[in-house]
Structure 1
Amino acid sequence: MAEEKAKENLWYAILNEQKPRFRKLVSNKSLLVLGDNGTGKTSLIAKLQGKKPPKHGAGLEYAYIDVEDDSNGDKAQLGVWTMDGDTGHTSLLALALNVNNFEGALVMLTVSMTEPWTWPEQLNHWINVLEGHIESLPLAAEQKEAARKQLATKWQSYCYPGSSLKQTSVGLNSAIDGDDLLPLTEDELTTNLGVDLVVVVTKTDCMAAAFQLEHDYRDEHFDFMQQWIRKFCLRHGAALFYTSIKKATNCDYLQKYLLHRVYGLPFQTPPMVAEPDAVCVPAGWDTLKKIDILSENNHGIQADSDYTDVIRAPYTGNGMYNRDLEFVETVDEQAFLARQLEILKRLDQEQAQGGGDTIHRTHRTSTGLRSTIITDSPESAGGEGILAKFFSSLLQKKAATSTADGSESGRNDTEKLAVPLDPSADLDRFSSNWKKADPKKPEEPQQNMNEHEQTKN
């Protein structure tokens, strides 16, 4: 009996050793992609699929990524849900993340390098949306606590690729017991949602000299961006990848890491933080001390500076001002001209009753035609009054000429409002008035009139 039990225990131990090699892939796993519009979510998923990105998106898109285990040839499909960036579509989250697939879900948050000044607002927004949705799920308190504990254990049991420790199918180190795990360090997993998170910075190919010159960025600014987003990932237990579809930067590494976190497939890529456009930080590797290395080498910017004070949004010139809008009621042009005509007729009648010559000067303004009346009275019969009448007549002729290209109705109204005068008759009348006003200087007005005649010729 003892020999039979020993044989059974031996076979049991052998089967347990071979069990990871016969990993069974299942298709009930899912990937949820969140991010604002324009961050390249759909294009990135199409790149991971090996397909061309669609021209038009939708509120909630569904796709899948083919998965194959090279160790045993097993195949599966990873479902991918891509949420539109419009906040009005957040109600669709119940279809992508629910009680049935919560345990096997992974969430990816995307931001774009083309607009790094929006990172804090976008990431905090989607984290709040995700946290609120998870809290609304009808999960038992024990189930939520178990999910948070499992995420913390994955973070604590990370092992560097190439080490003697081996990873099991669930991504944990088989050589490390739960009691032997080191406690979480400062600022690690302060916000534990119970789901795997991956933060992806897209479009890093824009980090060229032209982009730096346009926004006045230096290496210190990119180090500051990396420092901030790595601290964000540290607090939420997320991995970090900088990607570019045009240059195919980290796209393959990202796909392998997603399959590693979901299915436990091997991921042997070491962390990379030296290249500013190809950062790769697996969940569990980073610490606050490693992040502070960037601050030690960054002498131009203080590490504790506010992010929006260092990475500022460019001025577009389309600023909005908080003021009450002034609405101006428009008036029909013909109605406006008709009213002006009535006013001029009434003034002509008053002038005829009171006596004296009147010159109607009509000129165009931004609101229409404006009429100015100059009265030739004995009090204004001096030299200044005569010159004013003369130039008024010239302005009257210019206004009548400028309306020559208008509509027929506009020309008729203008002719009614402003009747051109004969310049020679004006000069004769001006000369006679001048002599009457100042008999001691009979030659001076005639000389002025001759100068005006020469100027006109």
Structure 2
Amino acid sequence: MANSFRNSNPPTRRPNSKDKDDEKEEIWKPMLDNISSGKRLPEKSLLVLGGTSVTQREFLESLSTDPTNNRRPPDRGRKPPIANQFALGYTYQDVLDTDHEDTLARLSLHLLSNPSLSFTPLIRPYLNPRTLPHMLVVILLDWNHPWLWIRQLRDWIRVLRSLILSLDDASKEVLEENINTLQDKGRSMGGEGNPAMENVKVPLGPGEWDEPLGIPLCVVCQNADKIESLERERGWKEEEFDFILQYLRTILLKHGSSLVYTMPTAPGSLRSLVHSTLGIKSLTKQEKLKHNVTDRDRVLVPPNWDSWAKIRILREGFDVEGVSEKWSVDIDPPRHMRPAADGQASAGAEEQTNGTAQHEEEEVDSTATSIYEETIRNPESEFKLTRLHSRQANGLEVASQDAQEFLSEQVAILETLRREDDQEAKVKAAQKAPEPIFRARTDDSSGVVEEHIGPVQFNMGGIQVNADEMVKRLQDREAGRANEPETPSAEPTNPDPKEMDNEKLMSFFSGLIRKDAAK
């Protein structure tokens, strides 16, 4: 009876502790996931190309400096190290809000100084569909060497183009989407004062976005305080600075790139430009980037702002069409930089075909790089004088002559002088009259002595005696005796003691003159 009751009415199972734990896990897991995703920091990437280990550190300092008060935010915890001594360097920065309390994003910075294809395999893994929409390429230039800028830009653009060509199809699709987004960014005619024109897009102008990379590009010209030194020490004028700015703007317009001048004491709008390009928005309202192309040491050209018409306004006579057309040829990767069959650029072929590439470049009469370097000359190389420098009346640079040519000219001049001296000596020798033996031996030396120290004198018994005058008197006396007629005498003639004394005196004084001249 009892058994049948138990079988017919089975008791209800009581929930155990395990079931309660499962129920709690299902409740809290979605909530924790939502909170975790909300607190996850946006990740942004910067690929910094060019410069040295020192200038790269200066760039990092400027990037972390607050433009409002030129102060770096306080380091919270351990300061991230900077590894940029060898090959591909790396560091990171946390972007803080205005109050320096909340972290808005984390910047991962990859640093590379040498535009060699040997290092491109190190960069390629960081270019993928996940990172490309949140990446910015920064090329560092230095005002200490402005004559190298266009060549450096050409080498880096070639590396980027060959690197992009070697990516997989998924990454190339992301790059195409980036190009469309970048070209439309900030091109509407609407604004705060005209919201009705918000959807009206400004069409692309000539020379704009002709060579898109698919990754936003920013060119940073460091150490703009050196502009005054170029003006003071090298005699540069406004023509040179305007020419450099027009050249850079024309080239960067083809890639949709931005441009900014910085200096260690005043980074200017560098931080705002980088953050706005990467889409890092502060919790407070940020001021809109304002272009500046008039202050030569504080230039700022935001993306999608420049045009050929604005470049021409800076200075008349600049050939924007010619520079833009030649630049497309300059940045075309040579054969040794193009990707191989496996989709990767052959780094080993770089060394093998380096000479061929240089030969191909020399065959081109005028490229965008050569035109720039003919105007902005490298003082460390033997470039020809340009039109701008030839017009400078107070230019400080002087073209030095080759050492071997200078020495050859000096040898020819010395040989001419030697022949003239020999000819003059022969003429003097032919015109010179015969003199007594003892006088001929002392003539040259006595003349030299008289010219420098006057006549030879000595003290004899307290009386100053002039040796030359004494010798001359003795010679006159001998000449008078030689002219006297001889008287016949039967007796043999004996030597006159007075005559012997005269000869001894003449020999004595002549010896004194010779000894003094020898000294």
Q: TM-score, normalised by structure 1?
A: 0.56
Kindly provide the amino acid, as one letter, of the partner of residue 135 in structure 1: L
Q: Secondary structure at the match of 2:185?
A: helix
The aligned counterpart of 2:133 is 103
Kindly provide the amino acid, as one letter, of the partner of residue 262 in structure 2: T
The aligned counterpart of 2:270 is 254
The aligned counterpart of 1:46 is 61
Mapped partners of 1:23, 1:222: distance in 2 = 48
Kindly provide the amino acid, as one letter, of the partner of residue 66 in structure 1: D
Mapped partners of 2:126, 2:188: distance in 1 = 29
Q: CA deviation at 1:56?
A: 7.1
The aligned counterpart of 1:60 is 88
The aligned counterpart of 1:269 is 289
Q: CA deviation at 1:452?
A: 6.3
The aligned counterpart of 1:154 is 185
| Aligned-residue CA RMSD (Å) | 4.1
Q: How many residues align?
A: 300
Unmatched segments (≥5 aa) in structure 2 = 1-36, 65-71, 324-370, 383-398, 405-440, 442-508
Describe the superposition over 1:152-172 as per-residue Cα deviations: whole angstroms up to 9, x where unpaired: 222634877x55459xxxxxx
1:83 aligns with 2:112: yes
Contact kept in structure 1, 2:42 and 2:106, CA below 8 Å: yes
Q: CA deviation at 1:81?
A: 1.3
Mapped partners of 2:273, 2:126: distance in 1 = 21
Describe the superposition over 1:271-311 as per-residue Cα deviations: whole angstroms up to 9, x where unpaired: 11110000111101111101110123xx8x88779322221
1:225 aligns with 2:244: yes
Kindly provide the amino acid, as one letter, of the partner of residue 134 in structure 2: G
Contact kept in structure 1, 2:289 and 2:302, CA below 8 Å: no
In structure 2, relative to structure 1, the CA distance for the partners of 1:152 and 1:69 (3 Å cut) is: same
Q: Secondary structure at the match of 2:315?
A: helix
Q: TM-score, normalised by structure 2?
A: 0.50
Higher RCO (C-alpha 8 Å, min separation 6):
2
In structure 2, relative to structure 1, the CA distance for the partners of 1:138 and 1:203 (3 Å cut) is: same
Mapped partners of 1:39, 1:198: distance in 2 = 19
In structure 2, relative to structure 1, the CA distance for the partners of 1:229 and 1:163 (3 Å cut) is: farther
In structure 2, relative to structure 1, the CA distance for the partners of 1:77 and 1:144 (3 Å cut) is: closer
Mapped partners of 2:315, 2:133: distance in 1 = 37
Mapped partners of 1:191, 1:24: distance in 2 = 38
Kindly provide the amino acid, as one letter, of the partner of residue 92 in structure 2: Y
Q: Secondary structure at the match of 2:278?
A: helix
Kindly provide the amino acid, as one letter, of the partner of residue 145 in structure 1: E
Kindly provide the amino acid, as one letter, of the partner of residue 111 in structure 2: T
Kindly provide the amino acid, as one letter, of the partner of residue 113 in structure 2: D
Q: Match for 1:118 among 115, 130, 148?
A: 148
The aligned counterpart of 1:213 is 232
In structure 2, relative to structure 1, the CA distance for the partners of 1:187 and 1:449 (3 Å cut) is: farther
Mapped partners of 2:233, 2:514: distance in 1 = 59
Unmatched segments (≥5 aa) in structure 1 = 1-21, 167-172, 324-386, 388-446
Kindly provide the amino acid, as one letter, of the partner of residue 90 in structure 2: Y
The aligned counterpart of 2:46 is 31
1:144 aligns with 2:144: no
Q: Match for 2:315 among 295, 301, 304?
A: 295
4+ aligned runs moved over 6 Å, structure 1: 22-25, 51-56, 301-305, 316-319, 447-452
Mapped partners of 2:45, 2:189: distance in 1 = 22
1:286 aligns with 2:306: yes
The aligned counterpart of 2:449 is none
Contact kept in structure 1, 2:83 and 2:90, CA below 8 Å: no
The aligned counterpart of 1:93 is 123
In structure 2, relative to structure 1, the CA distance for the partners of 1:110 and 1:163 (3 Å cut) is: farther
Q: Match for 1:242 among 241, 249, 261?
A: 261
Kindly provide the amino acid, as one letter, of the partner of residue 30 in structure 1: S
In structure 2, relative to structure 1, the CA distance for the partners of 1:196 and 1:163 (3 Å cut) is: farther
Mapped partners of 2:272, 2:189: distance in 1 = 16
Q: Secondary structure at the match of 2:133?
A: coil
Describe how 1:412-423 pairs up with structure 2 within 5 A: none
Q: CA deviation at 1:66?
A: 1.9
Kindly provide the amino acid, as one letter, of the partner of residue 59 in structure 2: L
